[in-house]
Amino acid sequence: MPNPEQVLSEITALFTESARLKSLTMDFAWFGPADPRYLGDPHRLRQMLSNLVGNAIKFTRQGRIRIEVREVERDEQAALLEFAVLDTGIGISEDSRARLFQPFSQADSSTTWVFGGTGLGLLSAPTENWSQSADIKLVCQRRWRLAISS
């Protein structure tokens, strides 16, 4: 897997124009070693981050989108990276969170008409067939956490 900061830069570059068209600011931060090396599938990582960032842009009317990555654990054999997507969007109510990762379900059907989509792309960010362990969850109303150990 390339340097996480490089992945963040690529994802940010990919979505900057979409964010700009909605007058949103977008940035990223890497909190880790200067020249890290990790094993992993960069394509799957980009796919998951793209789904999260795309939804953040879709459901944010004003403000900003921020992607953060930190190395939270390391030993001789593995490291745990935490990727977070934060936004100033509408968020997801607590009662809707339980349905979020269920197939063919969405948090709130009214958002389809208002925001032009359902946010179902989260289901296309599977951790199956992932060459390392991955865990994706909504930490709070407006913060996603994707933890990957390599």
Question: Distance of CA 140 to CAs 36, 43, 73, 130, Å?
Answer: 29, 26, 22, 25
Candidate from 19-28, 67-76, 86-95, 123-132 with smallest mean pLDDT: 123-132
Q: What is the pLDDT of residue 123?
A: 45
Q: What is the pLDDT of residue 97?
A: 66
Question: 76 Cβ partners below 8 Å, 6+ apart?
Answer: none
Q: What is the DSSP pairing of strand 24-31 with strand 63-74?
A: parallel
Highest mean pLDDT among 33-42, 53-62, 84-93: 53-62
Q: If you average pLDDT over residues 95-107, what whole number do you get? A: 60
Q: Assess whether pLDDT exceeds 70 at residue 88.
A: yes
pLDDT top residue among 99 and 71? 71
